[in-house]
Structure formats: structure tokens, C-alpha cells
Amino acid sequence: MTHHVKRAFKYRFYPTDAQAAELSRTFGCVRKVYNMALAARTEAWARQERVNYDQTSAMLTAWKKTDELAYLGEVSSVPLQQALRHLQVAFTNFFAKRAKYPRFKSRKKSRRSAEYTSSAFRLREGKLTLAKMSEPLDIVWSRPLPQDVAPSTVTVSQDPAGRWFVSLLVEDATVKPLPATDTVVGIDVGLTHLLTLSTGEQITNPRHERRDRARLALAQRRLAKKAKGDGANRTKARRRVARIYARIADRRRDHLHKLTTRLVRENQTLVIEDLTVRNMVKNRKLSRAISDAAWSQLRNMLEYKAAWYGRELIAVDRFFPSSRRCSHCGTLAEKMPLDVREWTCVCGTVHDRDVNAAKNLVAAGPAVSVWGAGVRPQRESSRTGQSAMKQKPPRREP
């Protein structure tokens, strides 16, 4: 069986003024089309009718013929069609109970992006030219693309810090399952230590956000003082805050990539706790630390890398008493407040709370795997049209 992995390669680029204007116009049109199609589908839903992708595509053709929406015909039509496809995927995920009802894209908060399929770009000799543009993009090729591959889609985006990125989706034949091993590792996530492994190894939490906290607080105070109508100065102050956030996020992502790649390379089976980070972040005292530790991002990386390299990732139910159970004799301690970091079991074994939890996860892993309660259902990706891992069927309502 051929192992095809769809992989996105992301690069920075520096547009000319004309390219930046064209792309900004395209982003605006993508948002407009998405919102109008969502409104049409929502109105139909209220009448107990369903509108599908083909119907929204016909609507788009009609919109372009009206005077007030004629400007939609001035940008490449492909990103507009892709926006309708993304909306279709959002509804598919909603009907499959994998996601909430699709939301409207806001001008200020939504991601500024446009997706081009192969008919709307040309990649020749390291030069990428998009539809409606005469000049290629000035891309910083920070790493090589896999040889002899043609990207299926190209996504152009601008982040809140004002940086421009292009992401090329390719089938990467170089990603192959790694040789099988018999190593199993339990992974317990935390705040003091980002990860504690069943081997006893503890990986310190770098606390990326804390390093820039003073600078971030100052930039946020300055932004708060800018009057709402103070256009250029407010935009400049907002960009300054966004740049600090971007630097924090870049460092965090880089660290998590190195860490997850090592764990997947070294272990055949990885057992983690199925945490609901969404609910935990509601705790005001811990929300900042939990967000900075980026447990969801870590879990997501482990999922798709395990799928890439032929490894097994098992998620154990979060109600499993991994901290309170003695990994030596199996006795369950009655209470285990969070401030207790070391405890002694009745059998005399002295436990580090996190190492003990990681060892218990390893012990629980095979049972979970046998029962097939592996990994929660994943959203279908609008880029690859597939989930990162085999899906567990949605839990039936009682």
C-alpha cells in the first residue's frame, strides 16, 4: 500500500505594493462570498431546506452579474470557489457533530487568506505566479520542496503582525512509516514540567509567554490608550502587540515540533490523557499558563505525526485516576490535591506525582487500544479533505 502524506510547506514572502493590494482585495472578496453563502444557507435552514455547494456556486455567478457585486469578478474566481468549498466542509463537520455551526467571518478578527488550486497558479523554476498577477511572488525558500512534486493548492495569508505567508500543499513521498519498535511511552502533560514521560524524563515548560510578558503588557497598555478613531496610530499599536504575540507563537511552535518529532521517532506507541483543554482554560487562575503550554497544539502534532510515521497514539479517558493510583501495587489513594507533588503509597513506594501518572498511562494504554477508544473524532480538513487519524465514531447520545 502506498503511503501518501499531504504536507504543507510554508514560506514567507514580500509582496510588491500592487500584489499586496490585489491580495487584500481578494481576501475581502473571499470573506464577502463566504458570509453571503453562509447567510443564504442559514435562511434556507430556517425554512427547513438545505442548500448545497453547487447551489451556492450558482449564486456566486448571479452575484457577479449585479451592479453592487460586480467587483467580485475583478479578482481570481478560484479563491471565491474555494471559500464555498470550505463552507461546505464546515457544514459537513457540523452535521457530523464534529464542529459547531459555521460562523460569519469578521473583517478584523478572521484569518486573512485565499486558496488557489492548480488552475490559478504557476510554479516554474522556483518562481510562483498567482492568477491576476504579472510578476512572481518574492518568496524566501527557507527549505526545499520535495523533488518532482506539483502543489495541489497554494494558500496565501497575512497574519495579524502584517507578515505574508504562502503555503504549498504537496504529496510528500519522503514521509514513510518508521521501522517498528516495541517501545511504549506514557506522556503526562503539566505546567511546571511541560511533559513527564513514563521513563522518568521530565521536560521543562519553557513558558514562552512569560519571557515577553513585560513587553507585551506595555504594548497592550499603549494600544488601550489609543482612541477608537485614531486610525493609523491605533493600527500601528495593534501591529506592535501582534508582532510580540507572533514571536511567542513561533518559538512555541518550533519547540513543540522538535519535541513531538523526537517522541514519535523514538516510540511505537504513545499514550496520553484525553484532556478537554477547552473547559480547563475557563479556570481564570490557570488559563494563561495552560494556553501558553499549548497542550492542544502538542496533541494535534502527535496525532498527525503518528499517522505519518506508522505509530499508534492512544488517548486514555480523562477520568482515569492516573495520579492517584500506585503504579507499583495498584492501590488507589483517596485524595490527591494538586499541590501534592510527591506521595508515599501504603506499599512503601515513593512516587513523583507526574512520573507515576505517566507510568499508569502506559499500563492503561493497551486496554484502551483493544476496546478501540483511541482518539476523539477529528474535524475533516478543508485542505486535505481527510482527518489526520482514523476516526472513532461519534458517541451516541444516551
Active-site choice (22, 303, 354, 380): 354
188 a catalytic residue = yes
Helices within the chain (DSSP H only): 17-46, 53-64, 77-95, 208-211, 213-225, 231-266, 277-280, 287-293, 295-308, 353-371
Comparison of pLDDT for 245 and 364, the residue scoring more: 245
Query: In this structure, are strands 269-274 and 184-189 parallel, antiparallel, or unpaired?
Result: parallel
The parent domain of residue 65 ranges over 6-171
Q: Do 27 and 58 sit in the same domain of this protein?
A: yes
339 a catalytic residue = no
DSSP state of 70: G
Q: Do 281 and 154 sit in the same domain of this protein?
A: no
49 a catalytic residue = no
Comparison of pLDDT for 150 and 209, the residue scoring more: 150
Q: Do 50 and 194 sit in the same domain of this protein?
A: no
Buried/exposed 227-242: b ≥16 CB within 10 Å, e otherwise: eeeeeeeeeebbebbb
Q: Which of 176-185, 213-222, 266-275, 337-346 has the lowest mean pLDDT?
A: 337-346
Instruction: State how many domains the chain has.
Output: 2
> Is residue 250 a part of any domain in this protein?
yes
> Is residue 341 a part of any domain in this protein?
yes
Name the pLDDT band for 157 (thresholds 50, 70, 90).
very high
Q: Do 191 and 267 sit in the same domain of this protein?
A: yes
User: What is the average pLDDT value for the chain, to the nearest integer?
Assistant: 82
Q: Do 156 and 270 sit in the same domain of this protein?
A: no
Q: What phi and psi values does residue 362 have, to the nearest 5 degrees?
A: -60, -45
97-142 pLDDT per residue, tens: 988 999 999 988 899 999 999 999 999 988 999 999 999 999 999 9
Q: What phi and psi values does residue 233 have, to the nearest 5 degrees?
A: -65, -40
Position 387 scores a pLDDT of: 45
Position 38 scores a pLDDT of: 96
Comparison of pLDDT for 387 and 180, the residue scoring more: 180
Position 274 scores a pLDDT of: 72
pLDDT exceeds cutoff 80 at 41: yes
Mean pLDDT to the nearest integer, 323-333: 70
Q: What phi and psi values does residue 279 have, to the nearest 5 degrees?
A: -75, -35
**Cα angle: 204, vertex 303, 203; to 5 degrees:** 10
> Is residue 41 a part of any domain in this protein?
yes
Mean pLDDT to the nearest integer, 264-275: 85
> Is residue 226 a part of any domain in this protein?
no
> Is residue 288 a part of any domain in this protein?
yes
Mean pLDDT to the nearest integer, 341-353: 70
Position 283 scores a pLDDT of: 56
Q: Do 30 and 147 sit in the same domain of this protein?
A: yes
Q: Which of 63-72, 189-198, 261-270, 330-339 has the lowest mean pLDDT?
A: 330-339
356-396 pLDDT per residue, tens: 677 777 767 565 544 444 444 444 554 444 444 433 433 33
Q: Do 122 and 15 sit in the same domain of this protein?
A: yes
- From 125, 150, 171, give the residue that closes a domain: 171
Q: Do 167 and 188 sit in the same domain of this protein?
A: no
Name the pLDDT band for 181 (thresholds 50, 70, 90).
confident
Task: Return d(Cα 201, Cα 182) in angstroms, integer.
Answer: 19
Name the pLDDT band for 285 (thresholds 50, 70, 90).
low
> Is residue 63 a part of any domain in this protein?
yes
Residue type for position 335 = K
Determine contact, residues 166/139, Cβ cutoff 8 Å. yes
Determine contact, residues 327/351, Cβ cutoff 8 Å. yes
> Is residue 394 a part of any domain in this protein?
no
Position 394 scores a pLDDT of: 39
Residues in the chain: 398
Mean pLDDT to the nearest integer, 279-308: 72
**Cα angle: 17, vertex 22, 25; to 5 degrees:** 125
Q: Do 156 and 261 sit in the same domain of this protein?
A: no
Q: In whole angstroms, what separates CA 165 from the centre of its chain?
A: 16
Comparison of pLDDT for 278 and 392, the residue scoring more: 278
Residues in Cβ contact with 96 at an 8 Å cutoff, skipping those fewer than 6 apart: 377, 380, 394
Position 368 scores a pLDDT of: 54
> Is residue 340 a part of any domain in this protein?
yes
Q: Do 158 and 15 sit in the same domain of this protein?
A: yes
pLDDT exceeds cutoff 90 at 331: no
Active-site choice (273, 292, 303, 380): 273
Q: Do 347 and 255 sit in the same domain of this protein?
A: yes
Position 289 scores a pLDDT of: 61
Residue whose C-alpha is closest to residue 12's, from 227, 157, 199, 164: 164
Comparison of pLDDT for 263 and 205, the residue scoring more: 263
Q: Do 115 and 141 sit in the same domain of this protein?
A: yes
Active-site choice (22, 188, 303, 380): 188
